[in-house]
């Protein structure tokens, strides 16, 4: 009986992994150091992924997507991140935060008009939730949308830390942004959040600034977006008024899974580089892998990596895109994997000494990039809170 490979459960998944790994080695790896060093986003490389069917990996085929599942999404993010996590983060913001959101929450007109453009790479998408004074506290967002007499909406506010918010060094905004804004309160006095598709060129929509001097993920552009009496047509409201939380919950689990997959790619590459270096480097007449201190770093790195891989792909195999219900494990994998990736990258730097501390040997970049995964897409503290709450409601999950 053949053994079960959670990470490649079907031949289609295996072929996808081989294709993405080969493409990454040929096209992503050669540019990774330069684009991190220069804090630039490789826009043309991103657009070229449309030809591979990767920009709409989870979108339906009738709109130009690949129609694949959560395991496929996980595979792509792992493979890209093993080479260039910063570029992979820009890919995640486009494919998961925008394309997947629209594919599962948009109406027929919105999907037919926009999905083919974002799946092909003609348009680059983003998602705007965080603000200068609000991140995890979604109900604390202050960007507002007020409906006008003609049915259009007028947005006012600022969004911060938006990956793909601008797509070049000239401050050009993303072609289309999934924006959350307050539209009042419901009949019970609760904050009402609604979702809007804001397109480049709409009056009052601009990039406030591109954010420089980030610790890591420097190959993805992070920007502040400004909405100053921004006029959005009525047709660009997603779903009904007040439905943002439904959209968030339906997409958040896949987002956290793919962020954990990014951590897995960082961990795998760091472990690989550390292991190779420990064989090549000698000290005191022996390979350094013969020393107990080095064996601890490699041994614990291997165990953490394998634990991450099993948990992440088990969760991916049990996650149905667009259907909430896997929060416990989507939080769990991100909580565990992001910190484990940072620890393995740190171990690799320690094993490689001075070489690990400079850019051309990759691991210092992976180490810097890993930290963001403990913050973006939900902080470690939010995962701890969610897991604790979910286990209070369903303690039997521990024994199932």
Q: What is the pLDDT of residue 208?
A: 97
CB-facing half-sphere around the CA of 73: CA atoms within 13 A: 35
Contact by Cβ (8 Å): 80, 48? no
Contact by Cβ (8 Å): 232, 197? yes
Residue 135 has pLDDT above 80, yes or no: no
Contact by Cβ (8 Å): 200, 23? no
Residue 353 has pLDDT above 70, yes or no: yes
The predicted model gives 370-397 an average pLDDT of: 96
Contact by Cβ (8 Å): 292, 370? no
3-class DSSP assignment, residue 18: helix
pTM of the model: 0.97
Contact by Cβ (8 Å): 123, 175? yes
Same CATH topology for 11-123 and 245-393: the answer is: no
Percent of the chain's residues with pLDDT above 90: 91
In whole angstroms, how far apart are CA 42 and each of 27, 77, 170, 303? 11, 17, 14, 34
Query: How does pLDDT run across 54-92, given as a tens digit for each residue?
Result: 999 999 999 999 999 999 999 999 999 999 999 999 999
Q: What is the pLDDT of residue 325?
A: 86
Output 81 or 140, whichever has higher pLDDT: 81
Please, what is the average pLDDT of the chain? Answer: 96
Query: How does pLDDT run across 171-227, given as a tens digit for each residue?
Result: 999 999 999 999 998 888 888 999 999 999 999 999 999 999 999 999 999 999 999
Residue 109 has pLDDT above 70, yes or no: yes
In the chain, domain spans: 11-123, 126-242, 245-393
Q: What is the pLDDT of residue 190?
A: 84
Q: What is the pLDDT of residue 2?
A: 61
Residue 270 has pLDDT above 80, yes or no: yes
Residue 260 has pLDDT above 70, yes or no: yes
Name the residues annotated as catalytic.
Answer: 255
d(CA 285, CA 361): 24
Exposed/middle/buried for residue 206 (C-beta within 10 Å: 0-12, 13-18, 19+): middle
Query: How does pLDDT run across 293-335, given as a tens digit for each residue?
Result: 999 999 999 999 999 999 999 999 999 998 888 999 999 999 9
Residue 218 dihedral angles phi and psi, to the nearest 5°: -75, -15
Alpha helices in the chain (DSSP H): 11-23, 29-37, 43-48, 70-81, 85-92, 101-105, 108-120, 244-280, 292-318, 327-352, 363-372, 380-393
Q: What is the pLDDT of residue 14?
A: 98
SS3 content of the chain, % helix, strand, coil (to 5): 55, 15, 30
Q: What is the pLDDT of residue 1?
A: 58
| Superfamily designation of domain 245-393 | Butyryl-CoA Dehydrogenase, subunit A, domain 3 (1.20.140.10)
Return the closest-CA partner of residue 255 out of 341, 338, 369.
338
Q: CATH number of 11-123: 3.40.50.1360, 1.10.540.10, 3.40.50.1110, 3.10.20.30?
A: 1.10.540.10
The predicted model gives 379-387 an average pLDDT of: 97
- Domain 126-242 indexed as CATH 3.40.50.300: no
């Amino acid at each position: 009986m053949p053994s079960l490979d959670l990470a490649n459960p079907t031949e289609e998944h295996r072929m996808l992994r081989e294709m993405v790994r080969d493409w990454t080695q040929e096209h992503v790896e050669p540019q990774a150091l330069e684009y991190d060093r220069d804090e630039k986003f490789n826009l043309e490389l991103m657009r070229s992924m449309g030809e591979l069917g990767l920009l709409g990996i989870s979108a339906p085929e009738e709109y130009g997507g690949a129609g694949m599942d959560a395991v496929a999404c996980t595979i792509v993010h792992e493979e890209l991140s093993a080479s260039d996590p910063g570029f992979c983060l820009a890919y995640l913001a486009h494919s998961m935060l925008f394309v997947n959101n629209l594919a599962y929450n948009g109406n027929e007109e919105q999907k037919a008009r926009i999905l083919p453009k974002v799946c092909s790479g003609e348009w680059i998408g983003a998602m705007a939730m965080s603000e200068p004074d609000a991140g995890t506290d979604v109900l604390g967002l202050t960007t507002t949308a007020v409906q006008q007499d003609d049915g259009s909406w007028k947005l006012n506010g600022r969004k911060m830390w938006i990956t793909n918010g601008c797509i070049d060094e000239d401050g050009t905004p993303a072609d289309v942004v999934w924006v959350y804004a307050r539209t009042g309160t419901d009949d019970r006095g609760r904050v009402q959040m609604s979702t809007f598709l804001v397109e480049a060129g709409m009056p009052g929509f601009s990039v406030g600034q591109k954010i420089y001097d980030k610790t890591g993920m420097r190959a993805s552009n992070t920007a502040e977006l400004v909405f100053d009496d921004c006029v959005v047509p009525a047709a660009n409201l997603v779903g009904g008024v007040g439905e943002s939380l439904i959209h968030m919950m339906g997409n958040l689990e896949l987002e956290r899974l793919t962020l954990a997959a990014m951590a897995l790619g960082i961990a795998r590459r760091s472990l690989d580089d550390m292991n190779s270096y420990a064989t090549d480097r000698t000290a005191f007449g022996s390979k350094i892998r013969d020393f107990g201190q080095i064996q601890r770093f490699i041994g614990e790195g291997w165990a953490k990596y394998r634990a991450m891989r099993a948990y992440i792909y088990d969760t991916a195999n049990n996650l149905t895109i667009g259907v909430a219900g896997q929060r416990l494990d989507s939080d769990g994998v991100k909580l565990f994997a992001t910190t484990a990736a940072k620890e393995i990258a740190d171990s690799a730097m320690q094993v490689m000494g001075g070489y690990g501390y400079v850019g051309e040997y990759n691991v210092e970049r992976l180490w810097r990039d890993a930290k963001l995964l403990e913050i973006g897409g939900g902080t470690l503290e939010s995962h701890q809170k969610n897991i604790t709450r979910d286990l209070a409601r369903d303690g039997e999950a521990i024994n199932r």
